[in-house]
Structure 1
Amino acid sequence: MIKGLKKSLILSCALAFLLPSVASADMYVTRFAGADRYETAIEVQENYFGKSYASQAVLAPGNDFRTALYGSYMATALKAPFYIVPKSGISKSILNRLKTNDVDRVYIMGDYKLLNNSLEKTLKTNGFKYR
Structure 2
Amino acid sequence: MRIIHLLVIGALVFAAAYVYRIKMDSTARTERVLRLHAEIREQRDAIAVLRSEWAKLDAPLRLQGLAERHLPLKPLNATQYDSLKNLPERPPSLVRPGDPDPIGAMIQTIDASADASSVTGSVPTSAPASEGQQ
TM-score norm. by structure 1 comes to: 0.24
Determine which structure has greater relative contact order: mean sequence separation of CA pairs < 8 Å that are 6+ residues apart, divided by chain length: 1
Q: Which has the higher helix share?
A: 2
TM-score, with normalisation over the residues of structure 2? 0.24
Rg larger in structure: 2
